[in-house]
């Protein structure tokens, strides 16, 4: 037997033995009826569920899984057979980790790792993955001979936008060398035991279940999905024993190349298991092996500039300078100019005092971030599309936090970034470079002026920015589905959900919440063959349902025949499909005859008896599930929200945070469309009821309009 297959089988057999013992012991200790589950998932033990279709719910379900696991270990001298044994190791690790959750409610409390990654987190990664903001996922395992090397590699991945998942002592090695960890930094420590690698594996597997509409039990389908659609790879550090090698074999079986930092000599498997002994080359070689392309950086700064820093929070005590609407006039505005000569391309001007050097307390300044663009194909409608990106771009700067938009925002620059040389002019460079990079098709010329003179900011805010915001709001309010003759598709999510297509209309944004009709229109202008294509509004079949021949035709084509009929406004009749990254889901609440709406962030129970995760698992992967539908937050207050079933009047329950967030707009819609006052006061939330009976009592007390409506189905 070759040394490699020898090692794989050795590890797989060892894990199988450990798993069998642990399962027997747990059954003995807790009894076969004891529940076993990972937190916040609708996919049971995901590897077992996806590979075999078995829904493990109690300890008594596990012995049969152990037998399946053992049957995968054939000990035959053949690399593919050995890779299957690697899958057995993955299953064993999953069971061993699940048993930790039987013994303790949160076995990872007090650990530097987070353990199991909940479903909503995976859903939230959908959009950045499809847009290439997260170009790939790195799984780091083990302990390197040099801690600083690990930190350098993680930082390299971070700067390239990758998501890094870490298992083992490499976690401390990175943290001790200044790497900041957390989902917001795209660096997530999973745990120290080698079995914690299962928490990386199930992320890939659930991606298939959530977005790919995989049939549980379809193992070949699963392996094809992870290989083709999940851009992950593994780096191991330090000496690796049989267990690590067999876990690596499992990764290879899923299509993820493994780069080790020891010399494997003839045991390497080209394209799949590779030795890179120079840590300086680990990252580049890994990306090459997985064919991950990283967008070239459009801008050079004294600090990092990457999507990985988007969620970074800068506390007051760490702040060097701040531009805050609470203390000073502020605004940001992108305006289009009609004449080429009006815009001096590349001009970056600071109009007013710059941030002073050597300040001993927080510098507070006014700021008007003004951008003027000219382009032959530029349209006024694209101003807001570009302007909204300022938030993301400024946040990409390491050591900078941006919240808010328009005339209400706060920007903080950290002391650390300041010391490293970040200055105000760099903000101008970021805007110029990113606008040229992302909007080059429509922007020929671009000039940035950062106004910090208080009187000038005030003047600009009152006389230029506010009137422009108001004009845009009027335009948006007049943009209805009736007023336009074109809708748009968005198929960006097809890289994960091949059968999914969003139809974006002025009153119905994409379900991820990130693509409005204006965005889709701009996307079409930016890239002719891109993810958004126009749908002429022709061949109306049923106005109330929002059924159009043209929509059906184009969606059918865009989904390669997977979806034949789609309505724009119905939850029941051919509802729009879901990919998996929806912000909210709505579903029928049968007792009240209404619908509940739940957002991804809400982890508690709903009156349907299902959590967000469980509801979400009912739809996704481009499948139509009448009665359940993913949608964007903003859609809730739309006149078109399930208009075919009677509109927003059907909403009977929302988590409190969501209800409060949409209250003003939702109340306005309810009043305008149905003459209902203070509608949200009639809608339940988790502080009122989480079961249908108490909810019903509340609705009756409030005389909720749904009580006098026709049955929803
Ligand atoms: Fe994905 Fe739809 Fe959002 Fe496009 S609009 S990114 S397809 S969820
Ligand atoms: Ni290659
Ligand atoms: Cu999506």
One DSSP character per residue, 437-456 reads HHHTTT-SEEEEEEE--HHH
661 vs 664: CA distance, rounded Å: 8
Q: What is the pLDDT of residue 541?
A: 98
Take atom 5 of ligand 1 and give the residue whose Cα is closest.
Answer: 510
Residue with tokens 């044994």: 85
Q: Which two tokens stand for residue 499?
A: 């059968």
Choose one of 212, 490, 576, 582 to mutate for the ligand 1 pocket test, by most ligand atoms within 8 angstroms of C-beta: 490
711 vs 713: CA distance, rounded Å: 6
Return the ligand number nearest the Cα of 579: 3
Q: What is the pLDDT of residue 40?
A: 93
Given a contact cutoff of 8 angstroms between Cβ atoms, the answer to whether 612 and 556 are in contact is no
Given a contact cutoff of 8 angstroms between Cβ atoms, the answer to whether 579 and 500 are in contact is yes
Q: What is the tens place of the pLDDT at every residue in 588-645?
A: 999 999 999 999 999 999 999 999 999 999 888 888 999 999 999 999 999 999 999 9
DSSP-derived letter for residue 664 is H
Return the ligand number nearest the Cα of 491: 1
Evaluate: CB of 490 within 6 angstroms of ligand 1: yes
Q: What is the pLDDT of residue 573?
A: 97
Q: What is the pLDDT of residue 297?
A: 77
* pLDDT band, very low/low/confident/very high, at 311 (cuts 50, 70, 90): confident
What percent of the chain stands above pLDDT 70? 100
Residue 521's H or E segment, with its range, is helix 517-526
Choose one of 131, 508, 515, 520 to mutate for the ligand 1 pocket test, by most ligand atoms within 8 angstroms of C-beta: 515
Question: How far apart, in Å, are the Cα atoms of 288 and each of 32, 248, 458, 462?
Answer: 47, 18, 51, 52
Q: What is the tens place of the pLDDT at every residue in 67-126?
A: 999 999 999 999 999 999 999 999 999 999 999 999 999 999 988 899 999 999 999 999
How many whole angstroms from 694 Cα to the centroid of ligand 2?
59
pTM above 0.85? yes
Ion ligand 3: protein residues whose beta carbon lies under 5 Å: 126, 493, 579, 581
Evaluate: CB of 223 within 6 angstroms of ligand 1: no
Return the ligand number nearest the Cα of 270: 2
Backbone phi and psi for residue 536, each to the nearest 5 degrees, phi listed first: -65, 135
Burial annotation 675-692 (CB, 10 A radius, 16+ → b, else e): ebeebbebbbbbebbbeb
Q: What is the tens place of the pLDDT at every residue in 179-195?
A: 999 998 999 999 999 99
- What fold characterizes domain 2-289? Rossmann fold (3.40.50)
Burial annotation 232-266 (CB, 10 A radius, 16+ → b, else e): bbbbbbbebebbbbbbbbbbbbbbbbbbbbeebee
How many CB atoms are located within 10 Å of the residue 359 CB? Answer: 12
Evaluate: CB of 492 within 6 angstroms of ligand 1: yes
Which ligand 1 atom minimizes the distance to the CA of 511?
8
Backbone phi and psi for residue 105, each to the nearest 5 degrees, phi listed first: -65, -45
Residue 195: name the closest of 82, 92, 102, 108 by CA: 92
Q: Which two tokens stand for residue 306?
A: 């990457």
Q: What is the pLDDT of residue 397?
A: 96
Q: Which two tokens stand for residue 600?
A: 């991804």
In 3-state terms the chain splits into helix, strand, coil percentages (rounded to 5) of 45, 15, 40
DSSP-derived letter for residue 576 is P
Residue 413's H or E segment, with its range, is strand 408-414
Evaluate: CB of 503 within 6 angstroms of ligand 1: no
106 vs 118: CA distance, rounded Å: 13
Q: What is the pLDDT of residue 132?
A: 85
Per-residue pLDDT for 1 more than 60? no
Specify which residues 401 forms β-bridges with. Answer: 412
Residue 158: name the closest of 296, 295, 305 by CA: 305
How many whole angstroms from 272 Cα to the centroid of ligand 2?
11
446-470 mean pLDDT: 97
How many whole angstroms from 581 Cα to the centroid of ligand 3?
4
- Domain chopping of the chain, boundaries: 2-289, 312-458, 486-708
Per-residue pLDDT for 271 more than 60? yes
How many whole angstroms from 43 Cα to the centroid of ligand 1?
23
Per-residue pLDDT for 321 more than 70? yes
564 vs 372: CA distance, rounded Å: 44
Per-residue pLDDT for 2 more than 80? no
Specify which residues 629 forms β-bridges with. Answer: 586
Which ligand 1 atom minimizes the distance to the CA of 502?
2
Q: Is 661 exposed, middle or buried (0-12, 13-18, 19+ CB in 10 A)?
A: middle
Q: What is the pLDDT of residue 133?
A: 85
Angle at the Cα of 579 from the Cα atoms of 578 and 582, rounded to 5 degrees = 70
How many whole angstroms from 291 Cα to the centroid of ligand 2?
6
Question: How far apart, in Å, are the Cα atoms of 297 and each of 155, 347, 426, 484, 513?
Answer: 15, 20, 14, 37, 26
272 vs 282: CA distance, rounded Å: 14
Choose one of 126, 212, 511, 524 to mutate for the ligand 1 pocket test, by most ligand atoms within 8 angstroms of C-beta: 511
Specify which residues 540 forms β-bridges with. Answer: 548
How many whole angstroms from 604 Cα to the centroid of ligand 3?
23
Per-residue pLDDT for 566 more than 90? yes
Return the ligand number nearest the Cα of 523: 1
Take atom 4 of ligand 1 and give the residue whose Cα is closest.
Answer: 490
Evaluate: CB of 520 within 6 angstroms of ligand 1: no
Per-chain mean pLDDT for the chain: 95
Q: What is the CATH number of domain 312-458?
A: 3.30.1650.10
Evaluate: CB of 137 within 6 angstroms of ligand 1: no
Which ligand 1 atom minimizes the distance to the CA of 130?
6
Class (C level, CATH) for 486-708 = alpha beta
Residue 566: name the closest of 499, 480, 493 by CA: 499
Take atom 1 of ligand 1 and give the residue whose Cα is closest.
Answer: 493
Q: What is the tens place of the pLDDT at every residue in 459-489?
A: 999 999 999 999 999 998 899 999 999 999 9
- Given this chain, do its domains 2-289 and 312-458 carry the same CATH topology? no
Take atom 3 of ligand 1 and give the residue whose Cα is closest.
Answer: 512
* pLDDT band, very low/low/confident/very high, at 713 (cuts 50, 70, 90): confident
Beta strand segments in 69-218, E: 137-142, 163-167, 187-191
H helical segments located in 277-359: 279-289
Evaluate: CB of 576 within 6 angstroms of ligand 1: no
Backbone phi and psi for residue 564, each to the nearest 5 degrees, phi listed first: -100, -35
Evaluate: CB of 127 within 6 angstroms of ligand 1: yes
């Amino acid at each position: 037997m070759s040394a490699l297959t020898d090692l794989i089988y050795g590890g797989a057999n060892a894990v199988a033995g450990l798993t069998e013992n642990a399962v027997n012991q747990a059954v003995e200790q807790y009894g076969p009826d004891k529940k076993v589950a990972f937190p916040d998932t609708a996919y049971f033990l995901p590897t077992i569920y996806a590979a075999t279709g078995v829904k493990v719910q109690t300890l008594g379900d596990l012995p049969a899984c152990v037998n399946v696991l053992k049957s995968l270990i054939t000990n035959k001298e053949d690399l593919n057979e050995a890779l299957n044994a690697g899958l057995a190791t993955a299953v064993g690790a999953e069971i061993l980790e699940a048993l930790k959750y039987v013994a303790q409610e949160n076995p990872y409390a007090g650990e530097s790792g987070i353990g199991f990654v909940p479903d909503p987190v995976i859903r939230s990664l959908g959009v950045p993955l499809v847009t290439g903001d997260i170009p790939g996922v790195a799984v780091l395992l083990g302990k390197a001979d040099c801690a600083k090397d690990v930190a350098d590699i993680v930082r390299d991945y971070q700067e390239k936008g990758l998501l890094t998942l870490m298992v083992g002592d490499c976690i401390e090695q990175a943290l001790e060398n200044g790497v900041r960890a957390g989902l917001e930094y795209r660096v997530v420590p999973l745990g120290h035991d080698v079995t914690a690698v299962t928490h990386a594996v199930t992320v890939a597997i659930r991606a298939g279940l959530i977005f790919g509409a995989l049939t549980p039990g379809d193992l070949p389908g699963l392996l094809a999905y992870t290989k083709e659609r999940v851009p992950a790879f593994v780096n191991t550090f330090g000496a690796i024993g049989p267990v690590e090698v067999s876990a690596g074999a499992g990764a290879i079986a899923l299509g993820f190349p493994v780069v080790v930092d020891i010399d494997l000599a003839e045991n390497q498997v080209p394209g799949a298991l590779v030795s890179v002994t120079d840590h300086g080359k680990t990252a580049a070689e890994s990306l090459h092996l997985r064919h991950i392309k990283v967008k070239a950086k459009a801008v050079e700064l004294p600090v990092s500039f990457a999507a990985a820093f988007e969620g970074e929070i800068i506390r007051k005590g760490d702040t060097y300078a701040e531009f805050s609407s609470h203390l000073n006039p502020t605004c940001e505005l992108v305006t289009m100019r009609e004449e080429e000569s009006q815009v001096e391309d590349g001009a970056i001007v600071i109009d007013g005092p710059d941030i002073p050097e050597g300040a001993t307390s927080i510098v507070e300044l006014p700021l008007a971030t003004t951008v003027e663009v000219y382009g032959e194909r530029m349209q006024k409608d694209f101003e807001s599309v570009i302007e909204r990106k300022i938030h993301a771009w400024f946040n990409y700067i390491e050591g900078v936090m941006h919240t808010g938009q328009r005339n209400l925002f706060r920007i903080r620059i950290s002391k650390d970034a300041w010391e490293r040389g970040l200055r105000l002019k760099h903000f101008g460079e970021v805007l110029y470079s990113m606008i040229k990079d992302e909007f080059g098709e429509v922007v020929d010329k671009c000039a940035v002026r950062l106004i910090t003179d208080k009187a000038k900011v005030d003047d600009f805010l009152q006389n230029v920015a506010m009137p422009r915001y108001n004009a845009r709001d009027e335009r948006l309010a007049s943009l209805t589905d009736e007023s336009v003759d074109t809708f748009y598709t968005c198929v960006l999510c097809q890289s994960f959900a091949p059968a999914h297509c969003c139809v974006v209309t002025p009153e119905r944004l994409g379900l991820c919440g990130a693509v409005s009709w204006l965005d889709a229109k701009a996307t079409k202008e930016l890239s002719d063959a891109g993810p958004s294509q126009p749908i002429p509004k022709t061949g109306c079949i049923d106005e109330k349902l929002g059924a159009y021949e043209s929509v059906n035709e184009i969606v059918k084509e865009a989904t390669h025949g997977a979806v034949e009929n789609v309505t724009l406004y119905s939850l029941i009749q051919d509802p729009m499909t879901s990919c998996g990254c929806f912000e909210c889901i709505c579903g029928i609440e049968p007792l009240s005859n209404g619908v509940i709406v739940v957002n991804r962030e809400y982890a508690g129970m709903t009156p349907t008896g299902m959590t967000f995760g469980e509801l979400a698992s009912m739809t996704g992967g481009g499948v139509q599930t009448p009665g359940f539908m993913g949608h964007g937050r903003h859609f809730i207050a739309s006149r078109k929200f399930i208009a075919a079933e009677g509109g927003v009047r059907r909403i009977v329950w929302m988590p409190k945070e969501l209800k409060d967030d949409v209250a003003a707009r939702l109340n306005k819609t309810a009043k305008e469309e149905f003459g209902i006052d203070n509608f949200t006061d009639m809608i339940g939330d988790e502080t009122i009821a989480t079961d249908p009976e108490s909810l019903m009592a509340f609705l009756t007390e409030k005389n909720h309009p749904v009580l006098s409506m026709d049955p929803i189905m």
